[in-house]
Structure 1
Amino acid sequence: MTAAPDTLETTSPVVPPQAAETAVAPAPATPEPPEAPTGRSYVRFVLVLGALIAIGPLTIDTYLPALPSITRDLAASESAVQGTLTGILLGMGLGQLLVGPLADAVGRRRPLIAGLALHIAASVFCAFAPSIELLTAGRAVQGLGNAAVAVVSMAMVRDLFAGSAAATMLSRLMLVMGLAPVLAPTLGGFILQLTSWRGVFVILAVAGVLMVTLASLALRETLPVERRRPLAARAVLSTYAGLLRDRTFVGLVLISGLMFATLFSYIGGSSFVLQDIYGLTVAQFGLAFGVNSLGFLSGSQLNPFLLKRYAPRQLVRVGVSIGATAALVLLASAATGFGGLVLILVPLWFLLFACGLTLPNTPALALTRHGEAAGTAAALLGASQFVIGGAAAPVIGLMGSDSAVPMALVMATTASLAALVAARTLRVAVVSA
Structure 2
Amino acid sequence: MKKEVMVDMTSGRIAPQILKFAMPVLLGLIFQRIYNFADSYIVGHFLGDNALAAVSVAGVGMYLMFSLIIGLTTGVTVVMSQYYGAKEADNVVKTFFSSIYIALGMTIIVTVVGLIVTKPLLIVLQTPDEVLDQAVLYLRLICAGCIGTMLYNWISAVLRSLGNSVVPLVFLGISSLLNIVFDVLFVAVLPLGVGGAAFATVLAQIVSGVACLLYAWKILPMLRIRRDKLKLDTFIGKKMLVYGLPAALQMSIISISDMTLQAVVNTYGTTLVVAYGVCVKVEGLGMQVGDALGTALGTFAGQNTGAKNISRIKAGFRTTFALNAIGYAIVSPLIFILAPLLMRLFTDNQASIGCGVEYMHIFAPFLIGVGTLNLFHNLLRAVGDVKITIWMGISEVITRIGFAFLFSYLWGYHGLWWVSPLTWWCAAGVGGLRYLSGVWKKKIEKAIPS
TM-score (norm: length of structure 1): 0.49
Instruction: Give the number of the structure whose residues are more often helix, by fraction.
Output: 2
The one of the two structures with greater contact order (alpha-carbon pairs below 8 A, sep at least 6) is 1
